[in-house]
Amino acid sequence: MKISKSLTIKDVAEGLRKNEFSAEEIFDHYQKKIKKENKKFNAYLSTFDMPKGNAGYNIQNELYGVPAAIKDNTLIDGTVCTAGSKILKNYISAYDATVIKKLRSSGASFLGKTNLDEFAMGTSTENSAFGPTKNPHDTSRVPGGSSGGSAAAVAADLAVFALGSDTGGSIRQPASFCGVVGLKPTYGRVSRHGLIAMASSLDQIGPITKNVYDAALVMNSISGHDDFDSTTAKKNVPDHTKNIEKNIKGLKVGVPKEFFREGLSAEVEEKVRSTMSKLESIGCNLVDISIPNFEYALAAYYVIVPSEVSANLSRFDGIRY
């Protein structure tokens, strides 16, 4: 079996359907790549054998045979989960996180656990107890964080897709740094059961993928109400892929004026305005809006998050405040 390109979920599905490779062969392909290349990036903290994610394979399942990377703050039964900290270096997960159960039932396989800033607190994946992760596009640069290992794994094609967690940008920012797609779902869309908590009122698990279609496929699998997480919404899960090719002519897009202020990089502003022009060119209606409380957002974040973090992490170190 020879694979010469970076594979998407759709590519894997087509390859399996056409018998170009088996689920075992595609898994082995990625494990060999990880063994050969991970030392350059330190994207993975641990890797798994095939059986860890492949019980009950069914080719009809949406993610059948698709090899995934999982951020190492998400529990997989019987495996070490460190959250990037030596406090938990010997902790063996006692159960599967709900998202892991859902991915298993969708047919996904698990390649291993990815590096992160310790307890998901950081924006560069330099603050892991197990060493920094490097950006695959330029190893002198950071991959972003805290889900930098997951973003680097996808960008380096050491996984077809990955899961990360996002509290204040920890999926979206490393995805941006690594040139892949990252989505923080609306709070309550995806269960947090089995996620090592950082700030419980803000944490969400979400996909890091190679394109938008793949992100929609993963969201189809991991979304939905969970009796083990009372904050999950009791709403039906739509097929997120259906609207991807939908004509967006006439769509109203709000542009907050507060986003264009002192401190914004000229290069970033140019890219944003270029994207705005593209949206207008395909028929979107751009509308200037204002978010008056925007200036208080960061201050509010740094009140909520440290207080919740101190409470959540006290279970590990015994320090209450």
**Does residue 237 fall inside a structural domain?**
no
- How many domains is the chain partitioned into structurally? 2
**Does residue 239 fall inside a structural domain?**
no
Q: What is the pLDDT of residue 258?
A: 95
Are 167 and 199 in contact by the 8 Å Cβ rule? The answer is yes
Number of H helices, E strands in the chain: 8, 8
Better-predicted residue by pLDDT, 152 or 310: 152
State the SS3 of 83-125.
CCCHHHCCCECCCCCHHHHHHHHCCCEEEEEECCCHHHCCCCC
1 pLDDT higher than 90: no
User: Which of 48-52, 64-68, 209-213 shows the lowest mean pLDDT across its residues?
Assistant: 48-52
Residues 209 and 119 in one domain: yes
The model's confidence at residue 57, banded by pLDDT at 50, 70 and 90, is low
Are 88 and 276 in contact by the 8 Å Cβ rule? The answer is no
Q: What is the pLDDT of residue 317?
A: 77
Q: What is the pLDDT of residue 53?
A: 45
58 pLDDT higher than 70: no
**Does residue 137 fall inside a structural domain?**
yes
CA distance 123 to 255: 25
CA 4, distance to chain mean position in Å, is: 25
Domain hosting residue 276, numbered range: 252-317
User: What Rg do the C-alpha atoms of the chain give, in angstroms?
Assistant: 20
Query: Does this model's pTM top 0.85?
Result: yes
**Does residue 240 fall inside a structural domain?**
no
Residues 26 and 117 in one domain: yes
Instruction: Render pLDDT for 87-134 as a digit per residue (tens, 0 to 9).
Output: 999 999 999 999 999 999 999 999 999 999 999 999 999 999 999 999
For position 182, which CATH number holds? 3.90.1300.10
Residue 314: count of CB within 10 angstroms of its CB: 12
Instruction: Render pLDDT for 198-250 as a digit per residue (tens, 0 to 9).
Output: 999 999 999 999 999 999 999 999 999 999 999 999 999 999 999 898 999 99
Instruction: Render pLDDT for 266-281 as a digit per residue (tens, 0 to 9).
Output: 999 999 999 999 999 9
Q: What is the pLDDT of residue 319?
A: 65
59 pLDDT higher than 80: no
Lookup: tokens for 192: 């947090």
Lookup: tokens for 23: 């689920």
Angle between helix 9-17 and helix 23-41 axes, rounded to 10 deg? 150
CA distance 294 to 41: 36
3-state secondary structure of 284: coil
Q: What is the pLDDT of residue 28?
A: 95
Better-predicted residue by pLDDT, 194 or 61: 194
Instruction: Render pLDDT for 287-306 as a digit per residue (tens, 0 to 9).
Output: 999 999 999 999 999 999 99
3-state secondary structure of 245: coil
**Does residue 152 fall inside a structural domain?**
yes
**Does residue 195 fall inside a structural domain?**
yes
β partners of residue 253: 286
Of the candidates 21, 6, 16, 29, which has an alpha carbon nearest to the alpha carbon of residue 63?
A: 16
**Does residue 281 fall inside a structural domain?**
yes
CA distance 59 to 26: 14
Residues annotated as part of the active site = 71, 146, 170
**Does residue 197 fall inside a structural domain?**
yes
Which amino acid is it at 223? S
The model's confidence at residue 52, banded by pLDDT at 50, 70 and 90, is very low
Q: What is the pLDDT of residue 321?
A: 52
CA distance 156 to 111: 14
173 CB-side CA count, 13 A: 19
CA distance 231 to 238: 19
Residues 193 and 104 in one domain: yes
Instruction: Render pLDDT for 155-188 as a digit per residue (tens, 0 to 9).
Output: 999 999 999 999 999 999 999 999 999 999 999 9
Sign of the Cα torsion 111, 112, 114, 115 reads: negative
